[in-house]
Copies of this chain bind each other. A is one copy, B any other.
């Protein structure tokens, strides 16, 4: 007999659901481009190959840790290539790959939607806060 409490059944359902989400392509994509630095790095590289220090300057708000971590993850995903020139000091160039390039039109599409609709969202938010009386607790 599988005697499970309601709690245990819910926990099991949640576990399965998480496994499902981990395999969902759309969710995986959103996890990547939802990352703050990922989109910024990709957008910067859309203008052409860049050195590490160039990226660091262009994306002024990023820490070295997050920049390196983001670049590593993008390299691992095959979206960005990393090429080292063994000079002194070393020079490292990053660039979009053939796999990463077709991502840019999608980002452009998202940006377009945002510029068309996000002001309405902002207005809705202001109206909501006016009614509830709370700007953002």
Contacts and interface: CB of A to CB of B under 8 A. Distances in A.
Interface in A106-137: 106-107, 109-111, 113-115, 117-121, 123-125, 127-129
A114 B13 contact: no
Interface of A: 13-14, 16-18, 21, 25-31, 33-36, 39, 59-61, 75-79, 99, 102-103, 106-107, 109-111, 113-115, 117-121, 123-125, 127-129
| Residue of A28, A124, A125 with most partner-chain B CB within 10 A | A124
A75 B127 CA distance: 11
A72 to B, nearest CB: 9
B76 A25 contact: no
